[in-house]
């Protein structure tokens, strides 16, 4: 049994006939993500009812490739153990009693008018008690007694803001849940990197999602960036070795569960193959407890920074911030529009303060 790859079916069959002779039997035909055609052929009689090979999942394909290649899986991270969210009560109606002396609240005095004003701004966003406490503590260092400046100071004192620096020697690997906006974020990062640097290289391992390959091709062609499809860690290593990128390298991965040991093993193998920094992509709004679990779990594969997306699609933006805070992740970038060329901002306390003030309940004019 042998496999032959060519740009067309006829060309692949011709290769098979040249190699195997007149007794060639075509066993199967498969379209590859690259656009080529793969033919499996044999010079033995075909079985009466051949069984189709099962389609490998993302983790399965990666593990098979790694078993045969130089990239060895690291030790398990015990991600199947339950990770409990520490704080869950976010409603303002529960803050007065819990923020006035609870252990996690650091003894905040809710009778203070400026503290209550900040709580009224922050609580509706689902930010959580611990983060509110930290922001209020940081806001006390503000030189100007006004909501906007207090918020800016609170965010500056509470978070680390660390936008990505693009380099061909520092590939960026985007990880996170399905639907977080990883692929569009990859395109936005590529666009941002090309403003004053050589063209970017985009790689995707998201070969199983419907339309994913067409999406990366469309982005690559629109941006004038190089783009590649990788089905295994070995593909990633070969792409980087053969093409020697001069600009940013942005690596998009499929949405996987951080609590699935096989998926985590696959991501580790891809990270090692690309020698990349994994960066978590999360929507700004969603299930805060779930996001905290994700942030803590992804830290096990080396995530230290996050990108929060979809600021334009939601009013309440506390879930992503709470995940970054409780997961101790630096904030790298924010995405606030669907437009690829202008949708990604360096993370800053000024943006967050103005965003939360602008969406304060009852403050938006119609």
pLDDT tens per residue across span 288-304: 999 999 999 898 889 99
Q: How far apart are CA 250 and CA 293, in angstroms?
A: 25
Q: How many angstroms separate the most distant Cα atoms in the chain? A: 90
Q: To the nearest 5 percent, what fractions of the chain are helix, strand and coil?
A: 45, 15, 40
Q: Are 163 and 332 in contact (CB under 8 A)?
A: yes
Residue 147 and residue 159 in contact, taking contact as beta carbons nearer than 8 Å: no
Q: Where are the alpha helices (DSSP H) in the chain?
A: 9-20, 58-68, 95-98, 113-122, 129-139, 147-158, 182-193, 212-223, 233-243, 261-274, 288-298, 318-326, 349-358
Provide the pLDDT for residue 323. 95
Q: How far apart are CA 24 and CA 1, in angstroms?
A: 10
23: number of Cβ within 10 Å? 10
pTM, rounded to two decimals? 0.69
Q: What is the pLDDT of residue 18?
A: 83
CA distance 135 to 153: 8
Which residues sit opposite 279 in a β-bridge?
A: 174, 305
How high is the pLDDT of residue 116? 74
What pLDDT, on the 0 to 100 scale, is given for residue 45? 57
What residue ranges of the chain have pLDDT lower than 70? 1, 33, 44-111, 210, 359-366
Whose CA is closest to 321, among 313, 330, 74, 45?
330
Closest to 292 measured CA to CA, from 155, 88, 149: 88
How distant is the alpha carbon of residue 4 from its chain centre? Answer: 35
Q: What is the pLDDT of residue 97?
A: 41
Find all residues with CB under 8 Å of 173, minimum gap 6, and list them: 251, 253, 267, 270, 271, 274, 276, 277, 278, 279
Contact 104, 130 (CB under 8 A): yes
- Judged on CB neighbours under 10 Å (0-12, 13-18, 19+), 44 is exposed
Burial of 151 (0-12, 13-18, 19+ CB in 10 A): buried
Cβ count near 28 (within 10 Å)? 13
Structure confidence at residue 333 (pLDDT): 96
Asked whether 276 and 198 are in contact (CB, 8 A), the reply is: no
pLDDT in tens, 66-124: 444 444 433 333 333 332 223 223 333 443 444 433 334 445 666 677 777 777 788 77
344 pairs with which residues across the strands? 335
**Which pLDDT does position 24 carry in this prediction?**
84
In which order are the strands placed within the sheet that holds 25-31?
2-6, 37-42, 25-31
Q: Is the dihedral of CA 152, 320, 100, 137 positive or negative?
A: negative
Cα–Cα distance measured from residue 295 to residue 300, given in angstroms and rounded to the nearest whole number: 9
Residue linked to tokens 């990604």: 344
């Amino acid at each position: 049994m042998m496999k032959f790859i060519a740009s067309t079916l006829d060309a692949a069959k011709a290769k098979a006939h040249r190699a195997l002779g007149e007794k060639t039997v075509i066993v199967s035909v498969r379209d590859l993500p690259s656009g080529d055609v793969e033919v499996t052929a044999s010079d033995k009689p075909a079985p009466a009812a051949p069984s189709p090979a099962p389609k490998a999942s993302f983790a399965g394909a990666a593990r098979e490739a790694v078993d045969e290649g130089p990239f060895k899986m690291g030790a398990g991270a015990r991600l199947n153990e339950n990770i409990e969210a520490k704080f869950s009560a976010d409603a303002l109606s529960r803050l007065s009693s819990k923020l006035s002396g609870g252990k996690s609240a650091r003894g905040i005095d809710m009778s203070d008018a400026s503290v209550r004003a900040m709580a009224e701004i922050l609580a509706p966003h689902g930010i959580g008690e611990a983060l509110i406490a930290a922001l209020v503590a940081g806001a006390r260092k503000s030189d100007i007694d006004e909501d906007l400046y207090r918020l800016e100071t609170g965010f500056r004192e509470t978070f680390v803001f660390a936008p990505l620096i693009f380099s061909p020697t520092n590939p960026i690997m985007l990880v996170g849940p399905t639907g977080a906006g990883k692929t569009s974020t990859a395109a936005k990062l590529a666009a941002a990197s090309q403003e004053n640097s050589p063209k970017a290289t985009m790689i995707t391992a998201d070969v199983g999602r419907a339309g994913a390959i067409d999406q990366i091709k469309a982005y690559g062609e629109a941006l004038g960036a190089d783009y590649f499809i990788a089905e295994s860690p070995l593909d990633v290593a070969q792409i980087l070795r053969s093409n020697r990128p001069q600009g940013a390298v942005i690596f998009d991965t499929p949405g996987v569960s951080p609590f699935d040991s096989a998926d985590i093993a696959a991501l580790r193998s891809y990270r090692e193959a690309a020698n990349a920094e994994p960066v978590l992509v999360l929507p700004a709004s969603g299930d805060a407890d779930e996001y905290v679990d994700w942030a803590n779990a992804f830290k096990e594969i080396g995530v230290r920074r996050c990108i929060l997306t979809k600021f334009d699609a939601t009013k309440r933006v506390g879930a992503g911030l709470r995940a970054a805070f409780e997961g101790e992740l630096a904030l790298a970038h924010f995405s606030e529009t669907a437009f690829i060329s202008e949708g990604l901002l360096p993370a800053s306390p000024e943006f967050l303060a103005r965003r939360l003030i602008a969406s304060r309940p009852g403050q938006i004019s119609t």
